[in-house]
């Protein structure tokens, strides 16, 4: 499964149509990053660069020049090199960039100092995201300065630098049919991994061993990598929002909170489920869980183009707070407790974020000071939770150390939304049935 060449082309065209006349856009590929000594992290292309090119290699720079007669899409990349390819793998080379990635023109990256200033020269405006890559910022300035040094010979340096992200990130926020299909598939693989984990978890397993079930299921279905480090927290570890050690044994009677999703074709999925290590929820676990589930369903119910971005969060907060009062964890009038943010002791994060090529995807949440209206094609997560700290002596001991989050990925449609991650159960009874059947 992949995004078509036509779609990459359509994106470049759409971006160039929005650029001012006589301008240039410049995007560097992500640098390779060292893990330790001479070992590198698995390479992941920069999301913006990928969105516009689908080109998977490091040491590349893409340039868009709307209206340029000799071609609007120019790619600088590594040259083919037999020895390097034997050691480190295939390279497209400038020939491959033209043949397989629709570049109109492609040059060796080693020639960029000689060629790029000539492409910038005479263009009034440069679209570039400054501050993301220090090395490249400096390089770009050196090319611009090279032009400035030649003004007396008639060279025309650009007058304006504009953030490319204003245009590009708004495009990325709206998912095309192809992107929706890719994200639906990523969601389905991740949902299958959560089902597998519910089926295979046993007391005594370590958290990282449960994590292995996810990684196995992702890869088995063509998703080589998780979209972010998996969070597998048994018992009170579920209350640590970014717990990634995943090193403890899972205990009978505890819940395990797993926040794990695969990346497919560079698109993220992001699912959290919380389920009992031994297959059955205790009364307290079930009571808190049902509050979170009710909040999540309420938030999904208002994920609709009639509403703004923050409305699902407001609904989740309302339902969570009412539930906390009903269970006696908070005392007082729910509306007032929402007003004073008393719920934050148990619910300290937001209910979601945009999802796409990045797990916390790009796109503005507010426009002109107001919350942004939801629109068809946007994808977001809905992920309320409740976390009772293990040392919270303001609540009865029976509640302490329970951490619950339920997270789904949701596509906004014309008349509401589609839950992309619907294939993994989330009602207590359904989870218990699934787990019981796997143990029979």
Provide the b/e sequence for 102-119 (b: ≥16 CB within 10 Å).
bbebbbebeebeeebbeb
- Told to judge if 242 belongs to the known catalytic residues of this protein, a careful annotator would answer yes
CB atoms within 10 A of CB 121: 18
Tell which one of 259, 263, 322, 409 touches ligand GLY (CB under 6 A).
259
Q: How far is the CB of 405 from ligand GLY (least distance, A)?
A: 8
Residue 322's binding partner among ligand GLY, Mn ion, none (Cβ under 5 to 8 angstroms by kind) is none
Which is catalytic among the residues 125, 353, 372, 422?
A: 353
- Told to judge if 194 belongs to the known catalytic residues of this protein, a careful annotator would answer no
Nearer to ligand GLY, 129 or 409 (CB): 409
DSSP letters spanning 216-262: HHHHHTT--EESS--EEEEGGGGGSTT-----SBP-TT-EEEEEE-E
- Told to judge if 69 belongs to the known catalytic residues of this protein, a careful annotator would answer no
Tell which one of 381, 384, 388, 425 touches Mn ion (CB under 5 A).
381
Q: Torsion angle of alpha carbons 428, 423, 184, 241, nearest 10°?
A: 30
Residue 228's binding partner among Mn ion, ligand GLY, none (Cβ under 5 to 8 angstroms by kind) is ligand GLY
Q: Does 359 bind ligand GLY (CB under 6 A)?
A: yes
- Told to judge if 349 belongs to the known catalytic residues of this protein, a careful annotator would answer yes
d(CA 408, CA 404): 14
- Told to judge if 38 belongs to the known catalytic residues of this protein, a careful annotator would answer yes
Q: How far is the CB of 270 from ligand GLY (least distance, A)?
A: 5
Q: Does 358 bind ligand GLY (CB under 6 A)?
A: no
Place of tokens 């939304």: 417
Nearer to ligand GLY, 23 or 351 (CB): 351
CB atoms within 10 A of CB 415: 9
Residue 184 corresponds to which tokens in the numbers above? Answer: 């639906």
Tell which one of 129, 213, 263, 270 touches ligand GLY (CB under 6 A).
270
- Mask: binding to Mn ion, 251-280, rule CB under 5 A, as x and -? --------x----------x----------
Q: Are the beta carbons of 312 and 352 closer than 8 angstroms?
A: yes
Q: Judged by CB under 5 A, which stretch of 148-156, 238-246, 376-384, 430-438 contacts Mn ion?
A: 376-384
Q: How far is the CB of 251 from Mn ion (least distance, A)?
A: 23
d(CA 217, CA 264): 13
- Mask: binding to Mn ion, 295-334, rule CB under 5 A, as x and -? ----------------------------------------
Q: Does 361 bind ligand GLY (CB under 6 A)?
A: no
Provide the b/e sequence for 65-79 (b: ≥16 CB within 10 Å).
bbebeeebbbbbbbb
d(CA 265, CA 165): 21
Which is catalytic among the residues 383, 408, 409, 432?
A: 383
Tell which one of 48, 179, 315, 383 touches ligand GLY (CB under 6 A).
383
Instruction: Let me know how long the chain is.
Output: 440
Place of tokens 């009602």: 427
Q: Are the beta carbons of 363 and 174 closer than 8 angstroms?
A: no
Q: Does 211 bind ligand GLY (CB under 6 A)?
A: no
Place of tokens 């560097």: 28
Which is catalytic among the residues 121, 259, 263, 432?
A: 259
d(CA 65, CA 152): 25
Residue 49 corresponds to which tokens in the numbers above? Answer: 């660069």
Please give the positions annotated as active site: 38, 242, 259, 270, 349, 353, 360, 383, 387, 405, 407
**Chain residues that interact with Mn ion, rule: CB under 5 A:** 259, 270, 381, 407
């Amino acid at each position: 499964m992949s995004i078509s060449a036509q779609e990459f082309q359509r994106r470049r065209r759409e971006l160039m149509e929005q650029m001012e006349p006589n301008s240039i856009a410049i995007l560097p590929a992500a640098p390779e990053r060292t893990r330790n000594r001479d070992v590198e992290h698995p390479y992941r292309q920069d999301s913006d660069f990928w969105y516009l090119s689908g080109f998977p290699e490091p040491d590349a720079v893409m340039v868009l020049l709307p209206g340029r007669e000799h071609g609007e899409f120019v790619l600088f990349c590594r040259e083919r090199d037999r020895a390097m390819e034997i050691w480190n793998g295939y390279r497209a080379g400038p020939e491959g960039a033209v043949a397989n990635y629709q570049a109109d023109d492609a040059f060796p990256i080693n020639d960029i100092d000689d060629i790029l200033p000539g492409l910038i020269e005479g263009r009034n405006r440069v679209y570039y995201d400054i501050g993301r890559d220090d090395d490249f910022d400096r390089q770009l300035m050196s090319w611009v300065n090279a032009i400035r040094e030649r003004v007396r010979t008639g060279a025309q340096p650009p007058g304006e630098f504009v953030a490319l992200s204003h245009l590009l990130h708004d495009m990325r926020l709206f998912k095309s049919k192809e992107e929706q299909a890719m994200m639906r598939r990523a969601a389905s693989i991740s949902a299958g991994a959560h089902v597998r984990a519910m089926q295979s978890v046993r007391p005594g397993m370590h958290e990282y061993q449960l994590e292995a079930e996810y990684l196995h299921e992702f890869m088995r279905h063509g998703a080589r990598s998780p979209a972010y480090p998996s969070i597998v927290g048994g018992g009170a570890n579920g209350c640590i929002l970014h717990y990634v050690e995943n090193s403890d044994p899972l205990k009978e009677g505890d819940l395990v909170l797993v926040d794990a999703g695969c990346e497919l074709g560079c698109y993220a999925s992001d699912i959290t489920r919380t389920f009992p290590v031994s297959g059955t929820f205790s009364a307290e676990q079930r009571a808190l869980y049902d509050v979170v589930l009710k909040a999540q369903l309420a938030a999904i119910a208002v994920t609709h183009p009639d509403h703004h971005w923050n409305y699902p969060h407001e609904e989740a907060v309302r339902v969570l707070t009412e539930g906390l009062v009903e269970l006696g964890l908070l005392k007082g009038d729910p509306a007032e407790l929402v007003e004073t943010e008393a719920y934050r002791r148990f619910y300290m994060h937001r209910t979601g974020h945009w999802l796409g090529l990045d797990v916390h995807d790009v796109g503005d949440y507010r426009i002109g000071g107001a919350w942004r209206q939801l629109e068809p094609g946007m994808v977001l997560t809905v992920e309320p939770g409740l976390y009772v700290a293990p040392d919270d002596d303001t609540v009865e001991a029976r509640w302490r150390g329970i951490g619950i989050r339920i997270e789904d990925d949701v596509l906004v449609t014309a008349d509401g939304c589609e839950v992309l991650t619907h294939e993994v159960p989330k009602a207590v009874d359904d989870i218990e049935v699934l787990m019981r059947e796997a143990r029979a």
